[in-house]
Copies of this chain bind each other. A is one copy, B any other.
Amino acid sequence: MSAEIGLGFLGLGTVGSAVVRTVSERTGFLERQIGRSFQVRRALIRDPNRKRDVPLDESQLTVNVDDVLNDETIEVVVELMGGVEPANTYIRRALESGKHVVTANKEVMATHGIELLELATAQGRDLYFEASVGGGIPVIGPFRQDLAANQIREVHAIINGTTNYILTEMASGGVDFEAALADAQRLGYAEPDPTNDIEGIDAAYKLVILASLAFNCAVSPEDVYREGITRISAADFRYAAELGYGIKLLAIAKRAPNGFEARVHPALIQRDVLLAQVDGVFNAVLLDGDLLGRALFIGRGAGPEPTSSAIVADLIDLGHNIRRAVHDRIPMSLDGDLCVLPMPEVRSRYYFRLWAKDQPGVLASIGTVCGEHAISIASVIQKEVDENAGRAELVFLTHEAQEAAVQGALSAIADLDVVASVASVIRVEDLAE
């Protein structure tokens, strides 16, 4: 056994560089924990001209993936490329050639996670992925180990820092979505093309991983209902606050009688619930287990240092396994008999805001439509009146109703003569104790 565990990197951007620095700077610290240190052998890079702040020789950088995957001195491959391909193929090749893999890749884990974990088991190797969800917050570890005695009933998570930053700005600054997005882009919290974040795509990938772990079943990204934050306006934040709510982009997985719900969408949550107060780029996972009850984990969900906290923790755990010559210590156990509930069957409370003619009988008409769809209204507020256009803005909060019924009612309401437009519809998650 060599005194060092050889590492190969696939991808050496800001996160990869932070990981390389961390394992280099903490040699003694890591040796005390696992009895051996890590040695970075080779790193696959895309752009040889990019300047990198890493303690590596130029000769250790390569643009040829075979230099990493065929290097027999590399025991562990750290995959930080992102995106499904070629990362998926490279992880597969690494496992097939007898290497362990640590990845931060949510897209790969959400789309090919179960088959890759099965491959790792078959190969007698380990595949770690703590950094794929929640950045540095321990999430995968707790689900697989610390919470393993529980039947998980619900997970409500804020797992996209970009959208949480934007929503926090909208809530505190009273600004509209476009202004908050521009601000986030200026500060580097949002990408030039922000689609993956603001449309909930990133959160949906992470939810797939969380839901698989919570319910021990195969979930695919297509199973997840997904709605982004682009249609929320400053007015919605004002009304929500007046009603005692905040607005967050939530990733929700919830056990239901014949399966489970898996959905990503903006939601009103009571302002005095701690999850509603997780602001800025922080992430949070609120879970409900049948033994534990509610537990909430909060921390930084992105950034090179928090992410390397998770990746190096995986490397240390792997180091313990290598030292003890054990692998695949906690195998995936799939229940297989659970499936995702179609969105129309989901039950929720709803907030909706619309513009109607400022005349008598409007509330009665809307109330009638709701009644016909078996939707009961919990409260109504009327605030803005646009005198020139003769329009009034109305906000409704419903009791729990079925998604299909609400969508039916909303389309009938939009067709009413007295209604100019349904400006927004946001689900309400009841998280009060």
Residues of chain A touching chain B, judged by Cβ–Cβ distance below 8 Å, are 22, 26, 29, 32-33, 130, 136-138, 141-142, 145-151, 216, 274, 277-278, 289-300, 305-306, 308-313, 315-317, 320-321, 324-326, 329-330, 333, 335
Contacts and interface: CB of A to CB of B under 8 A. Distances in A.
Contacts of A292: 136-137, 299-300, 305-306, 309
Contacts of A136: 289, 291-293, 295
List the 8 closest pairs (A to B, CB-CB), nearest first.
Answer: A138-B146, A149-B312, A295-B299, A291-B309, A136-B292, A292-B309, A326-B326, A296-B298
Contacts of A278: 274
Contacts of A26: 149
Contacts of A330: 320
27 contacts: A22-B149, A29-B151, A33-B148, A33-B333, A130-B146, A141-B146, A142-B142, A145-B313, A145-B316, A147-B313, A149-B312, A150-B309, A277-B277, A291-B305, A291-B309, A292-B306, A292-B309, A293-B305, A294-B299, A295-B297, A295-B299, A295-B300, A320-B330, A324-B326, A325-B326, A326-B326, A329-B329
A289 B309 contact: yes
Given A138-B145, A138-B146, 13 more contacts: A130-B146, A136-B291, A138-B147, A141-B142, A145-B317, A148-B312, A150-B309, A291-B305, A291-B306, A297-B298, A298-B298, A320-B329, A320-B330
A217 to B, nearest CB: 12
Copies of this chain held together in the complex: 2
B306 A149 contact: no
A279 B315 CA distance: 36
A368 B112 CA distance: 70
A291 B294 CA distance: 27
Contact of A138 (B130, B142, B216, B290): B142
A296 B147 CA distance: 17
A45 to B, nearest CB: 23
Contacts of A142: 138, 141-142, 146
B146 A310 contact: yes
A296 B149 CA distance: 22
A120 to B, nearest CB: 14
Contacts of A29: 151
Contacts of A299: 292-296
A205 B239 CA distance: 47
Contacts of A320: 329-330
A134 to B, nearest CB: 10
Given A149-B316, A308-B149, A295 B141 contact: no
Nearest to A146: B138
A290 B18 CA distance: 13
- Residue of A32, A151, A277, A291 ringed by the most chain B CB atoms within 10 A: A291
Contacts of A325: 326
